[in-house]
Amino acid sequence: MSQSPQKSWQARFSQAADALTEGYVESLSFDQRLWRYDIAGSIAHAEMLADAGLITKADSQAIIRGLRQIETDIQAGQFKWDPAFEDIHMAVEAALVERVGEPGKRLHTARSRNDQVALDLRLYTRDAIDLDIVPLLEDLQRALVDSAEKYAEAVMPAYTHLQRAQPVTAGAYLLAYVEQFGRDRERFLDARKRVNVSPLGAGAVAGSTLPIDRQAVARRLGFPGVTRNSIDSISDRDFILEFLAAAALCAGHLSRLAEDWILFSSTEFQFVNIADAFCTGSSMMPQKKNPDVLELVRGKTGRIYAALTGMLMITKGLPQAYNRDLQEDKIHLFSAHDTLKATLEITAAVVRNTAFRTDRLAAATEGGYMDATILAEYLVGKGVPFREAHQHVGRLVAQAEKSARQLGQLSLDELQAVSDRIEADVFEYLGSANVVRRYQSEGNAGPDSTRRQIAFWREALSK
Ligand code: ARG
């Protein structure tokens, strides 16, 4: 480790920082991944300083040349990350001064690390949404829609309370997740509106007495506007919290899908077959094929929830405005971003490599009296009040259960003994295949509705 360089604030101090202090307050070890945004922000700031006459054109050119060199070096893995620098902002600025000298010392005019880090984080979060999360969510939705199309006619049980409820198409089941991931995508894009505002120029907390042009910097960085209040600009991280909240909801959806398919891949269900490439074996039990990938999709959700609660804890009770506690925000932002990105990516791959066993789905639709509701609705059609119809069918289910038969295996006489409104056409209603084709309400889980929903998503996802 090199000799600690002089701190920029050393003039006011009579002691150098203790080594323990230095090690404890540093963030370079984890915030160096902000380098791209830190440099982009500095270039925009330097250009603005020159335009505003606060530095010369020549100084601005030297600064930009130096920053571009640093960028190239970092990208090539040739930049020497000196742990003596506290954070990414100090490391880049020091490297700049080392390379271009005096002009480098003018870069921090009318700027603080407080607005600088707020800027870096907003640029980072915007890219995380635009380049990773939203495209990956769309890809996962596409994978699910493809699968829904494959199984648009395959009938399976829908469960409530994990008990067989009503027959649905496997396509409709898969499309339920497409809806959930669609709302996740909207949440990220909605959060993006509040992420996409430039805080630069707020300075340490109160702005600057120098004639800077905040709008010009914002335009250069692709922001539609600037924050209104300098104190707020450097104080809050609610834009990160919104990202984390959207990530937590999304992870919850991923975790539920994972749980379903872990269950569905068990010998008890055998509804799905997950390709070997997305499973792992046992070191001891030779027969095992375990859904570890999906178990980790479920398990890693914990990291994302931890990031959200961790960030809520950090910001709760912070006095207005900037406090160093906020430095910890990056840990949670990066952790949730990395985990969600990897999880979305592998979940889409699992979806593309999972086959539904239509024979097993069909077999599962036989038991469980999932045609009881249609029988009650059939009676409603014959003029019986629903509450009475419900009781008649309940009696018939109990009766069929005693003799281990399906409702459709009861004779017309047996059916009519409970309700004389039942006629021979009842057998065109009983059985899962009849049920799914008779669903009529908008958004139902039958094959026609499944096709309409697929068409909707194909169109929506092609934009
Ligand atoms: N590393 C700091 C952070 O992440 C940068 C801002 C530091 N500002 C300060 N006044 N110490 O928050």
Residue 244's Cβ-side half-sphere holds a number of Cα atoms within 13 Å equal to 25
Same domain, 84 and 120: no
Between CA 413 and CA 424 the distance in angstroms is 10
Which helix (DSSP H) or strand (DSSP E) does residue 417 occupy? Answer: helix 412-418
DSSP result, 80-135: ---TTSSSHHHHHHHHHHHHH-GGGGGTTTT--HHHHHHHHHHHHHHHIIIIIIHH
Number of domains in the chain: 3
Give residue-wise pLDDT tens across range 415-455: 999 999 999 999 999 999 999 999 999 999 999 999 999 99
Same domain, 254 and 314: yes
Tell me the average pLDDT across 374-384. 98
Residue 450, in any domain of the structure: no
Tell me the average pLDDT across 350-362. 98
CATH number at residue 200: 1.20.200.10
Q: What DSSP designation does 280 have? A: B
Between CA 69 and CA 154 the distance in angstroms is 59
Residue 47, in any domain of the structure: yes
Same domain, 189 and 219: yes
Using only C-alpha atoms, the chain has a radius of gyration, in whole angstroms, of: 31
Residue 439, in any domain of the structure: no
Residue 458, in any domain of the structure: no
CATH number at residue 388: 1.10.40.30
CATH number at residue 47: 1.10.275.10
Same domain, 291 and 162: yes
Question: Residue 3 pLDDT more than 60?
Answer: no
Cβ atoms < 10 Å from Cβ of 326: 22
pLDDT of residue 417: 98
Same domain, 150 and 235: yes
Same domain, 27 and 122: no
Residue 426, in any domain of the structure: yes
Residue 168, in any domain of the structure: yes
CA-proximal residue: ligand 1, atom 12 (nearest): 327
pLDDT of residue 342: 98
Tell me the average pLDDT across 249-273. 98
Between CA 83 and CA 332 the distance in angstroms is 22
Same domain, 325 and 249: yes
Residue 446, in any domain of the structure: no
pLDDT of residue 5: 75
Average pLDDT along the chain: 97
Tell me the average pLDDT across 375-392. 98
Beta bridge partners of 155: 169
Percent of the chain at pLDDT above 70? Answer: 99
Same domain, 75 and 126: no
Question: Among 240, 324, 333, which is best to mutate for testing ligand 1, by the most ligand atoms less than 8 A from CB?
Answer: 324
Question: Residue 289 pLDDT more than 70?
Answer: yes
Range of the domain at 421: 371-430
pLDDT band of 2, cuts 50, 70, 90: very low
Give residue-wise pLDDT tens across range 206-222: 999 999 999 999 999 99
Same domain, 313 and 391: no
Between CA 95 and CA 117 the distance in angstroms is 18
For tokens 């990160």, name the residue. 240
85 CA to middle of ligand 1, Å? 12
117 CA to middle of ligand 1, Å? 7
Between CA 126 and CA 193 the distance in angstroms is 9
Same domain, 135 and 63: no
Residue 149, in any domain of the structure: yes
Give residue-wise pLDDT tens across range 299-329: 999 999 999 999 999 999 999 999 999 999 9
Contact 339, 304 (CB under 8 A): yes
Same domain, 14 and 34: yes
Same domain, 284 and 412: no
For 351-364, b where at least 16 C-beta lie within 10 A, e where not — what string?
A: bbbbebbbeebeeb
Q: Which of 14, 27, 253, 282 is catalytic?
A: 282
- Residue 355 has phi, psi (to 5 degrees) of -105, 135
